Amino acid sequence: GAGVSQSPRYKVAKRGQDVALRCDPISGHVSLFWYQQALGQGPEFLTYFQNEAQLDKSGLPSDRFFAERPEGSVSTLKIQRTQQEDSAVYLCASSLVRFRGAGDEKLFFGSGTQLSVL
Amino acid sequence: AQTVTQSQPEMSVQEAETVTLSCTYDTSESDYYLFWYKQPPSRQMILVIRQEAYKQQNATENRFSVNFQKAAKSFSLKISDSQLGDAAMYFCAYRRHYGGATNKLIFGTGTLLAVQP
- Quick check: B42 and B55 in contact, CB under 8 A? no
Which A-chain residues 65-94 have CB contacts (< 8 A) with chain B?
Answer: 89, 91, 93
| Nearest CA-CA partner of B84 in B14, B10, B21 | B14
- Quick check: A69 and A54 in contact, CB under 8 A? yes
Q: How far is A109 from chain B (nearest CA, A)?
A: 6
B-chain CB neighbours of A35 within 8 Å are: 105
pLDDT digits (tens, 9 = 90+) for A19-54: 999 999 999 999 999 999 999 999 999 999 999 999
| Nearest CA-CA partner of A89 in A53, A35, A46, A45 | A35
CB contact under 8 A, B105 and A107: yes
Who among A33, A101, A111 is closest to B42 (CB)?
A111
What are B's interface residues with A at a Cβ cutoff of 8 A? 4, 42-47, 91, 93, 97-110
Range in A73-82, A108-117, B89-98 with the lowest mean pLDDT: B89-98
Q: Identify the pLDDT of residue B101.
A: 59
Decide if A116 touches B, using CB distance below 8 A.
Answer: no
Mean pLDDT of A90-112: 80
Q: How confident is the model at residue B56 (pLDDT cuts 50, 70, 90)?
A: confident
Q: How confident is the model at residue B103 (pLDDT cuts 50, 70, 90)?
A: confident
What is d(CA B109, CA B10) in angstroms, rounded to the nearest whole number?
A: 11
Residue A106: count of CB within 10 angstroms of its CB: 10
* Phi and psi angles of residue B9, each rounded to the nearest 5 degrees, phi first: -65, -35
SS3 A16: coil
Mean pLDDT of A100-117: 82
Segments of B22-85 assigned E as strands:
24-26, 32-39, 46-52, 60-61, 64-69, 74-79
